[in-house]
Amino acid sequence: MAEKQEEPSNTQNGEADNAEEGEEKKKKKVKREDLPPFEIVTGERLPAIFFKFQFRNVEYSSGRNKTFLCYVLETQGKESATSRGYLEDEHAAAHAEMAFFSSILPRCEPGLRYQVTWYVSSSPCVACADRIAETLRRSSSLRLSILVGRLFMWEEPEVRAALQRLRAAGCKLRIMKPQDFEYVWQHFVEPEEGEEAKAFVPWEDIQENFNYYEEKLAEILQ
């Protein structure tokens, strides 16, 4: 007669389960800690579908919780040079404007002069506007022009004040015209599959929305 194998007790089962659960939690914790708190996406050209949705200059930007920043960095001096690229974020932590100063600007050589142009899906928030203004005040060798598709929360007094401080610091701020959207399409957007030379097709209300935002920005900066 074979001996009956002793079943582990409930206590032993519970201890094993708790140990496994604790180990699993520890692994998950380590994985979370190893990951950066926020990732900024960078590249030379962004997908056309992102451009068509995120850059559209609609009055109500529902669902557009990212900032896309396309930049042209021109080095001015004996050996002039131009570089381009884009940064993408989500409105959760570091924004694309902040990422430019932490990842792109440090590559610039001290002593040279730089002209930077941003084409941004929406205008900066208060924190970003103040960071930009502070950077411009500290760096006499940097000139910045920002062209925005939409105004972010422009009705809020603190946002309006931040944009005013931005201009006072020497930043040139204006709304993107239809021609500017076409420029971004040509220089910063990946060709759609099978349509390498497809021309930019303006959306129906692009001029009307430009006029709307241009008027609002003029009111803010007057």
Supply the residues annotated as catalytic: 97
Contact 118, 71 (CB under 8 A): yes
Contact 69, 120 (CB under 8 A): yes
Integer Cα distance of 74 and 115 in angstroms: 5
